[in-house]
Structures are given as structure tokens and as C-alpha cells.
Copies of this chain bind each other. A is one copy, B any other.
């Protein structure tokens, strides 16, 4: 059996993850971009089922009890999590499942699905550049921007836990690296299947 592979992307908000994935989309084959579930209220312009699955705290806690999450965490009083069901379906369809999750989420996915997981940490070239990008978005007030920068410094300290680091200096160069990471993730998955094939064959 051939199953899909998991590719975890982490990195500061403003690192350019979505831009890189879009720039590389034509070359990485069929993929499913995992949509997180959250209890926080939608922000201006956010759509249910596109940016997040928006649910109530009660529904989220029911799902926790039922074991429906691959990973979840509580951040600033809101829950964020990844539902298992759509991930399983995408894996069964041999898709590359891409997660945009934080370093805690990465650790939880590794713990549960290490054999099919490849990970990359995407970072802006400098904290100064990150600050510029966050201000250019004009979506956050000053306090939020400063907190995001502090978070970024914290996160970047954890990047040794990732298989690859991609410094988003220019989008083209970063997208090219991302294509290699995505192909390596795919190759790793076919590897696991082939290992099973060879093992079973050797034992006959």
C-alpha cells in the first residue's frame, strides 16, 4: 500500500509560508493543505472551511474527549487543533498533507506519525525583515506586532528540531528549496512502503 506523506511547516507569522507554497504548487504534485479548527472568533475576511474551521468551545471539547484531534493546544484562551479525519482521508488518497503548525504541533505530529513526517522551518532572513513584513500587513496593532516578534525569537531557537530550514530571502529561491523538501517528503513515504514490501518478500 502506498500512503500519502506529511510535511510540517512552521515558522513565524509573516515568514511567508503561504506565498512559498503557492509559488511551488505546480511542482509538488497533489497536496492537501490541512485546515486547523479553532474556537476563536473569525477575523475580518476569514472564511469557515478556508482559513479555519470555526467551532464553539463545547464542540471542540467534545472532539478532544472523542480523540478526534491529531494535535491541539490552548493559546491565549482559545483552542487550536488539527482534526484527524480529513488528514486520514487525504493520506488514504496518497496526497501530500501540508501542515502549517507551531513547534508544539510539530512535536505532537512527530510523536504520532514520525515515520511519514518531514518538516521544514521557514524563517525571514532577519528579525528586522520580519518586523517590516508584519507592519506592511497592517492587520495587527503595535502590541501584537511586538508579541509576534518575541514569539519569533522563541521559535527560531527550536529550528534544530526540523529536518530542513528555509530562509525566505527571495520567494523564488525559497520556493525552489521548498520543492526539494516536498519531493524528499514524498520519497520518504514511498520509502516506508517499499521497506514493508522488501521485508515481506525477504521473509517468504
Contact = CB atoms under 8 A, between A and B. Distances in A.
Q: Secondary structure at chain A's binding surface: helix, strand, loop or mixed?
A: helix
A177 interface: yes
A164 interface: yes
Contact of A123 (B164, B180, B188, B198): B198
A64 interface: no
A156 interface: yes
A124 to B, nearest CB: 10
A35 interface: no
A165 B191 contact: yes
Contact of A184 (B127, B165, B180, B198): B180
Contacts of A199: 157
Contact of A194 (B126, B165, B195): B165
A159 interface: yes
Nearest to A188: B164
Nearest to A160: B195
A65 B32 CA distance: 55
Nearest to A182: B180
Interface in A165-191: 165, 167, 177, 180-181, 183-184, 187-188, 191
A167 B194 contact: yes
A194 B123 CA distance: 10
B164 A187 contact: yes
Interface of A: 123, 126-127, 153, 156-157, 159-160, 163-165, 167, 177, 180-181, 183-184, 187-188, 191, 194-195, 198-199, 201-202
